[in-house]
Structure 1
């Protein structure tokens, strides 16, 4: 019988980031500042690990107050109605040494859809206080319209103001409990 280990997120050393095209030619970056995540494992190799994540929608920041307010409005995330974004893994499979594919269900804007994230396992290390830490870099892409985030504005030159593809970029550090 195997023993389950829980790993808690270290929010001071983790980032939940995204990028989206603006006016078809530049990226706008943002992140969520309030989130929680855990991983359940049966070994330090993280084989078959179970990941879960919860983010506070109104903690979004892009460095621009007006844009952030628009993102929280019913045009986009509708944070008043949908205060959380969640992810629950359905699979974590090894591709190569240190490379995994994380699959799971992302709930955003009241809609749950499957997503796939490329995951790099950075390994394990002890910090100066004796805590065992694990590091992960996750990347992926989603189409915001799949979650009902449909607002846009046409440009006079053709094209649209906000791209549909959202690039996800997460740097996660977990502490063994």
Structure 2
């Protein structure tokens, strides 16, 4: 059996992004500025991950609009006062098409649902400072209403203000930890 390897996210070379349709005609992009990701693998084989754990601080949400961010943190959406973090715990990471499928439990506002996301594993390299790094692109979709983010508004013309579907896009660089 290969030795256990611990990987942690390099936040200076990673980003957690989400996109939502506004009025069904434009897309608004948001980010989580504070987050953590830890992965434990056998050697460098991510398909043999024994632990994949991601958390994001709801208070760190940013859509480049303070008023909208405050609304997202309120009880209408994430309810940051009672639910300060969202969490994803990976269960399986397996080949799928030309990439991988990561399936696990996502918890938002105290509601946990199983979700799957597509992962492109870009490779493992040693940087100029001797650190081993692994790169990933993660993409998926979630229904905000399934997690209790049910705030809705409709314009006078009957247009939905915020879509139910949230697209998630993450660029992740993990750093191999030496014992």
TM-score by length of 2: 0.95
Q: 1:68 — aligned with what?
A: 69
The number of equivalent residue pairs is: 176
Distance in 1 (alpha carbons) for counterparts of 2:71 and 2:96: 39
Unmatched segments (≥5 aa) in structure 1: none
* Alpha-carbon displacement from aligned partner over 1:64-102 (angstroms, at most 9, x marks no partner): 0000000001110000000011110011001245x1000
Q: Give how far 1:46 is off.
A: 1.6
Structure 1 stretches (4+) deviating beyond 6 angstroms?
none
Q: What is the aligned-residue RMSD (CA, Å)?
A: 1.0
Greater shift, 40-49 or 139-148, is seen at 40-49
Q: 1:169 — aligned with what?
A: 169
Describe how 1:117-136 pairs up with structure 2 within 5 A.
117-136=117-136
Distance in 2 (alpha carbons) for counterparts of 1:147 and 1:138: 20
Q: 1:81 to 1:150 in 2, by over 3 A?
A: same
Q: Give how far 1:14 is off.
A: 0.7
Q: 2:155 — aligned with what?
A: 155
Unmatched segments (≥5 aa) in structure 2: none
**Secondary structure at 1:170 match in 2:** strand
